[in-house]
Structure 1
Amino acid sequence: MTKPFPNSPAQRVAIESLTQSLNISPFLASLLVQRGIHTFEEARSFFRPELGHLHDPFLMKDMDRAIERLKLAFLRQEKILVYGDYDVDGTTSVALFYGFLKTFYPHVDYYIPDRYKEGYGVSKAGIDWAVANEFTLIVSLDCGIKSIDRVTEAWELGIDFIICDHHRPGRGTDGDELPPAAAVLDPKRSDCDYPYKELTGCGVGFKLLQAYCIFENIPLETLFGYLDLVAISIASDIVPITGENRVMAHYGLKVLNQSPRPGVKALIKVAGFTRELDITNVVFGLGPRINAAGRIQHARAAVQLMLSHSEEEADQFALEINKHNASRREFDTTMTEQALSMIRRNETMVKAKTTVLYDATWHKGVIGIVASRCIEHFHRPTIILTQSHNKAAGSARSVPGFDVYEAIEECADLLEQFGGHTFAAGMTLPIDNIEAFRRKFEEVVARRISEEHLTPLVEIDLPMDFSEIEPKMVRILKQMAPFGPQNMCPVFMTDDVYMVGLPTIMKEKHLKMTVRQGRSGHTFTAVGFGFAHWADQLSTGEPFSICYQVEENHYGGNISLQLMLRDIKC
């Protein structure tokens, strides 16, 4: 699917203006206009993100109340508990908030719930532990917005909450249903006018610390050293890399690459990265390893890793977490094969608009990954359920453009609890309700979803001739990073392409070939992972079309341009 070419009168004027003011080709100017960049100032902000572009944290609803409650806790020397979820966003949030507070305040500790014994959100066990250890203030990160009963229980026991969350609040008859906390920081509150809505839980925690630094005249540079943790949360939680997220990801990657904390440095080492990290490396290399701690054993190990002060301590934690990641992969592979087999054996499931699968023996820590794997084969909203504490616990994943959270919300009468985002959610329901939930979820999604959502598409930014591909163009493309949702790495399409010579098949799966366009002298190496089956068809000498990303290939000390194939059409 090709995005609309920017061709309105206003867009043509913007392309001409950017071409002149930035000294770039009209082709690159078109790419910027397509991404909503029309003026020199907008381009400068895009290509040169600055920490000064971060919004005033006091624009967030309840921020003043949160600061007042923190100040009171410091004044009274209260014990503060930093409470976070067990995934990447939650553990980075805790490492950020606890790590920063611990530098000047001694009466602070942290708590991560056990994925299997306590489940998502603020747990009764967590409240009991806070009471037993005489904490009077809990700062919850990446959770809490829907924990109304637990926050109420804590309040009745003399414990206040500051909630830092980014999930959607529950809906009451008169609007959002919020917990009785001292402060509820969540840009997705309907009454919050904060300019940027897509922060991670770690990002909301960062804004609270930013506000505290501003209030107490603490140099913000002290806090900016923690942006590596925010960048990891942004990459791993798959939030839009726009606005503030883009700024924090940009500077967070700088910290990751130039002065990583010992724990992150150890994680980079066991992941095998030797070159500069980008968002993709974090998503596929660091994030899964941090997540594996909570999936296989306990997420506290991930926080301990990120808070490590010595390389020796960090290396030990990183090796242990890497072992958990290897175990996670084994579970992932086995369960995915079982899930795909269940679908393929059932003709009704094959033809359905959704996938909802249940197996009491499946490992709860991997069900979200398995849902994503199923979508790779059956492109539709998917929920994988397993048994936990005599209930069915599920993890949902969606396809681009479809809000799975809203579909689940319409099935709330069959659920005990649920929460999440547009593209990912979690839920708990009675085992006896599974079949009724499967039917209703299918009915809701079938009514809401379009055929376009159900068809896997490669979104193409612009058609391009090979003559446009040259080092300056690639240098500018690299400056458009960090890439991620709503700022994806550009995908181009070229027609009238021929294979030159013979293809190379790598590991029996992957294709490597030399390609040229028409009769031009421009040739490039093209690599397609999982594209080996195209080799014979492309060897006929007939022209074909390709869509691809342009990348630098670093090999043997040399750098060359290559095309990373996304699709082929004969």
Structure 2
Amino acid sequence: MNIRMKNEKEWSLKEYDHDKAAALAKELGISEFIAKLLVIRGFDNPVSAADFLSPYDYSFCDPFLLQDMDKAVARIKTAIQKGERILIYGDYDVDGISAVSALYLYLHSKGANVCYYIPERLTEGYGLNNCAIDKFAAAKIDLIITVDTGITAFSETEYIKEKGLDIIITDHHECPEVLPQCACAVINPKRRDSLYPFSELAGVGVVFKLICAIDGVENIRSLCEKYLDIVSLGTVADVMPLYGENRRIVTHGLTALNKGEHVGIGALLDCALPDNSGGQRRITASTIGFAIAPRLNAAGRIGNVKHAAELLISNDAERASVIAQELCALNRERQAIENEILTQAIEKLEAEFDFEKDRVIVLCDDNWHQGVIGIVASRITEKYGLPSILVTFSGENGKGSARSIQGFNINDALGACEKNLLKFGGHEIAAGLSLEKSKFEEFRTAINDYARDIITDEMRVMHVSADCEIEACEIDLDHASQLSLLEPYGNMNPAPVFILREAVVSNITPIGMNKHLKLTLTKDGKNYIALYFNKNPDDFGILEGYTVDVAFNLEINEFRGNRSVQMNIRDMKISGDTADYINRQAKDYLRAIATFAVSKENLPDMQAFRSTFVYLRTASKQSGELDIGKAAADISHEFSINVTPCMLNIMFDVFAEMGLVKFERNTLNDIDFTLPDVEGKVNLESSKFLTKLKNSSY
């Protein structure tokens, strides 16, 4: 019998062919450690594995394999030669901002009469709009080039043609069956008639192909050096799969970023990650994801998006520093707004959501910030393991953001409810929508009716997919250094996850204002440092001395010139002797409530009752969620008595019988409780349950 912890994640280990890994190691002259990880990732033959291990070459696909590329190049070259006014129109996310910046820098370097326009998220929304087009016509723009947008802009392209302007569409989103007919060219690797061998380019990746086509593929090396630092930003931020061309784009981009020559990005990193270690800062795809992208996105969410583009275009170090500080301040403001909305959303959810009946969390408010609700929806989905939709209303109309879980296509779900919506669009995991306030409740009912037969309990369980188990002796600098061969990490090429079995937790230290934990794990006589981010010590549920299995990423920590191996924990489970003990305690408790037979070790006396009640009243503020194992250990330590998990479960039953506690069990090791107001003294000796246990104790 295994006792499942609340919100415990399912672990899965990938299978692989050991013989293929050994053969691959011999053929390529690499370690079996790396060969094993390559085979697990599907690169199980020398050709595919060698290609994966060679992301620094320049074997990019021919840009002219993209449909309409020849038409686009011809029209742009004509515009440059004639001095026509070119306007680049982009999206307000990092992909769009970086696409605008890269194309602007390139065309400007060629002497083009070029400007750019990025719509405001709150006032204009996504994509082309007629009001903006009117401005372009009045400004005598001759050619519009869209980046990261435009593939569904049918009426807008017709309006552009009516105004006498030309338009070239470059995009990477899913294509409709019929493309906009009024464009000079429509470049999209997802076109149904596409001959291009790689369809997963970001919007800025499509722009890079356009730049290569205009300049000539013979100049690919210099183009990579000049533009892939910016191109890599949008590719990573838009969570594009990091294989094929994207792997080469990001690899070359990170090389450029680590040279530190880009004025704007350097200023942003100096502000976001001030380097106090005295060493050289190493920029990875993760740096883009957690340090650069959120700050660029903050401009589009709650500030002036043009500042983000200006930062990427600027060569003025002083101006770049000012903008970088503004973006960092905006990001801090965004974080505060996000946390406030998250708190409000969880309160609404706990009050309104039927966890037994409903499968999609749908919440609304009149005061939520439209630019932030998508991030909050992601956090709610991660926390509860369910799709979530957050809507903010302004007057009678509202806009919303949806996030989903694996196996539930949120865009299809919105399509099934389109009669309740004004507009929707997106992908399998994320989408946007708009609707009338009067349709909100009907929409909430409809999408839950749709989801009820699709989302199973199994789909709601969070998963950790591990590459392989690892021995403690392999947790060293040599193996951690070898992992750099697999970088850059990202979508479809995640950092390897390893499992270490039956390590002992020797020390637990809260860090980062109690937001994170630093652990010392002991295995085979050696100690290993492990960090557990976003894990509050109060709800950790694991104590010093516990034996655990650990799922983790293996990394190198560099500080003041010193390099050490570090485990970054993804998940942790009680195992070994500790798991056996907890399972025995659970069995003892189940036997006690079924037969009233209990060992004297697990039978509480009055001192145990008094100490436990004091603990509940003071430590947990008379209500809350309680980890039985941790609470039993805390009470034992605080009051110098022996309280077992079985004993604590029994005491809760006695307290409840006598009206001292109200509680609900989430699992045998996790309960939610409250202490109601009770007048007068209560004689626990009069408990019928306790009396039966005493009479049957052994």
TM-score norm. by structure 1 comes to 0.92
For 2:246, the equivalent position in structure 1 comes to 245
For 2:561, the equivalent position in structure 1 comes to 557
Q: Deviations over 1:376-402 (max 9, x none)?
A: 321222221112575211112222454
Stretch deviating more after TM superposition (30-39 or 346-355): 346-355
Q: 2:421 aligns with which of 390, 415, 419?
A: 415
Aligned counterparts of 1:369 and 1:200: Cα–Cα separation in 2: 20
For 1:505, the equivalent position in structure 2 comes to 510
Q: CA deviation at 1:486?
A: 0.7
Q: Which amino acid aligns with 1:210?
A: C
For 2:49, the equivalent position in structure 1 comes to 43
Q: CA deviation at 1:565?
A: 1.2
Aligned counterparts of 2:141 and 2:372: Cα–Cα separation in 1: 33
Q: CA deviation at 1:512?
A: 2.2
Aligned counterparts of 2:547 and 2:220: Cα–Cα separation in 1: 60
For 2:324, the equivalent position in structure 1 comes to 318
Q: 1:207 aligns with which of 206, 209, 213?
A: 209
Aligned counterparts of 1:198 and 1:438: Cα–Cα separation in 2: 33
Distance 1:105 1:431, change over 3 A: farther
Contact 1:213 1:220 (8 Å CA) reproduced: no
Stretch deviating more after TM superposition (427-436 or 89-98): 427-436
For 2:644, the equivalent position in structure 1 comes to none
Distance 1:104 1:27, change over 3 A: closer
Contact 2:28 2:50 (8 Å CA) reproduced: no
For 1:57, the equivalent position in structure 2 comes to 63
Contact 1:228 1:260 (8 Å CA) reproduced: no
For 1:104, the equivalent position in structure 2 comes to 110
Contact 1:510 1:527 (8 Å CA) reproduced: yes
Distance 1:105 1:528, change over 3 A: same
Aligned counterparts of 2:21 and 2:39: Cα–Cα separation in 1: 7
Aligned counterparts of 2:61 and 2:223: Cα–Cα separation in 1: 18
For 2:40, the equivalent position in structure 1 comes to 34
Aligned counterparts of 1:495 and 1:12: Cα–Cα separation in 2: 21
Stretch deviating more after TM superposition (315-324 or 502-511): 502-511
Q: Which amino acid aligns with 1:82?
A: I
Q: CA deviation at 1:273?
A: 4.7
Q: Deviations over 1:332-355 (max 9, x none)?
A: 111111111110112426752111
Stretch deviating more after TM superposition (17-26 or 356-365): 17-26
Q: CA deviation at 1:265?
A: 0.9
Distance 1:177 1:348, change over 3 A: farther
Q: 2:550 aligns with which of 536, 546, 551?
A: 546
The 5 Å alignment of 1:40-439 reads 40-170=46-176, 175-214=177-216, 220-222=221-223, 224-274=225-275, 275-348=281-354, 352-388=358-394, 390-439=396-445
Aligned counterparts of 1:97 and 1:374: Cα–Cα separation in 2: 36
Distance 1:149 1:45, change over 3 A: same
Q: CA deviation at 1:491?
A: 0.7
Q: Which amino acid aligns with 1:201?
A: G
> Which residues of structure 2 form unaligned runs of 5+?
1-9, 276-280, 575-698
Aligned counterparts of 1:74 and 1:62: Cα–Cα separation in 2: 19
Q: Which amino acid aligns with 1:102?
A: H
Q: 2:492 aligns with which of 480, 486, 492?
A: 486
Aligned counterparts of 1:447 and 1:137: Cα–Cα separation in 2: 49
TM-score norm. by structure 2 comes to 0.76
Q: Helix, strand or coil: the match of 1:479?
A: helix
Q: CA deviation at 1:220?
A: 4.8
Q: Which amino acid aligns with 2:531?
A: V
Q: Helix, strand or coil: the match of 2:145?
A: strand
Distance 1:103 1:310, change over 3 A: same
Contact 2:411 2:426 (8 Å CA) reproduced: yes
For 1:523, the equivalent position in structure 2 comes to 527
Aligned counterparts of 1:454 and 1:132: Cα–Cα separation in 2: 53
Q: 1:566 aligns with which of 566, 570, 573?
A: 570
Distance 1:161 1:268, change over 3 A: same
Q: Deviations over 1:76-118 (max 9, x none)?
A: 3321110001111111110011111011133111011111111
Q: Helix, strand or coil: the match of 1:226?
A: helix
- 1:532 maps to 2:542: no
Contact 2:89 2:100 (8 Å CA) reproduced: yes
Distance 1:537 1:117, change over 3 A: closer
Stretch deviating more after TM superposition (251-260 or 140-149): 251-260
Q: Deviations over 1:294-325 (max 9, x none)?
A: 21222111111111111011111111222211
Q: CA deviation at 1:476?
A: 1.6
Larger Rg: 2
Distance 1:177 1:391, change over 3 A: farther
Q: Deviations over 1:236-292 (max 9, x none)?
A: 111211111111011111111113421111111110253211111111111111111
Q: CA deviation at 1:533?
A: 4.3
Q: Which amino acid aligns with 2:554?
A: V
Stretch deviating more after TM superposition (226-235 or 35-44): 35-44
Contact 2:212 2:219 (8 Å CA) reproduced: no
Q: Deviations over 1:35-87 (max 9, x none)?
A: 01123332232222134222111111221222222233234332111000111
Contact 1:100 1:223 (8 Å CA) reproduced: no
Residue-pair matches, total: 558
Identity of aligned residues (%): 35
Distance 1:426 1:58, change over 3 A: same
Contact 1:146 1:179 (8 Å CA) reproduced: no
Aligned counterparts of 1:401 and 1:54: Cα–Cα separation in 2: 33
Q: Which amino acid aligns with 2:273?
A: G
Q: Which amino acid aligns with 2:510?
A: I
Q: Helix, strand or coil: the match of 2:146?
A: strand
Stretch deviating more after TM superposition (442-451 or 202-211): 442-451
Q: 1:20 aligns with which of 20, 26, 40?
A: 26
Q: CA deviation at 1:327?
A: 1.5
Q: Which runs of 4+ in 1 moved over 6 A?
A: none
Aligned counterparts of 2:200 and 2:449: Cα–Cα separation in 1: 29
Contact 2:504 2:521 (8 Å CA) reproduced: yes
Contact 1:115 1:298 (8 Å CA) reproduced: no
> Which residues of structure 1 form unaligned runs of 5+?
none
For 1:459, the equivalent position in structure 2 comes to 465
CA RMSD of aligned residues (A): 2.2
